[in-house]
Amino acid sequence: MEEAIIPMQIVVLAAGHGKRMNNSELPKVLVPLKGKPIIKYLLEAIKKSEVTNKPVIVVGQKADIVKQTLGPEYNYVFQAKQLGTGQAVACARDLLKDKAANVMVLYGDHPLITPQTIKRLAESHLKSEATITMATVRVDDFNGWRKPLYDFGRIIRDQIGKVVKIVEKKDAAQDELKITEVNPGYYCFQADWLWNNLPKLKNDNVQQEYYLTDLTALAVHQGQAINSLEIDAPEALGVNSPEQLKILENLICS
């Protein structure tokens, strides 16, 4: 009997180096936050959301340590070279093709996203029947604990408010940097469209990486529907430096 195709699978990107964390012993997702590996917060939120039973974790740097720490209740895929978020998600293609109708992408170093938001993102995507559903965050400014959000990609909308593209901060013009609606990078995709379009990504950007964010402009160009869901700003925060880890420690306490 053929396996039933599940409505939604979650892919967690967890292959990063964490070069700026000043902790060469541990992969970034295992750096402790209030005594618990960063990624554990996300995995607990996924479990409580009940969106999927067994998320896929893309591992890379010190993959054995990550798998040993997290245990056998997850599916793991290996990313040999870190060539960007688009390439990371592509590593899950063989495991998920024809097994999940939709794919949600989350990040192992973003610990504050709540079970409720994960569930809302999945429900909004399934209800909208859009090709892509993306979370967005609006802030008044980039001061205080919001400072890390300045480094996020900017959401570019047309005159009627439709998302037309995302511009990474490194590639943004000065007027684009003034936009205060940013992209936390949480997406749902219709799986068939995702697997067909990931190979079309190009790395002609400052970082020479394959950005998952470029799928948005690709979908717009194809006339595909894009749905967006606004989430609370703290849920967008990740950990890329000891300073950002401190910000999260303070937010978790408050």
User: Are the C-beta atoms of 38 and 29 separated by less than 8 Å?
Assistant: yes
Catalytic residue among 20, 138, 146, 154: 20
Q: Please give the structure tokens belonging to residue 120.
A: 């809302």
* Residue 157 appears among annotated catalytic residues: no
What distance in Å separates the CA atoms of residue 14 and residue 30, rounded to the nearest whole number? Answer: 9
Partners of residue 32 on adjacent β-strands: 37
98: left (phi over 0), alpha (psi -120 to 50) or beta: left
- 12, containing H or E segment: strand 9-14
Angstrom distance (rounded) from CA 180 to CA 138: 6
Strands 102-107 and 163-167: unpaired
Maximal C-alpha separation, the chain: 57
Beta-carbon count within 10 A of 147 CB: 13
Catalytic positions are: 20
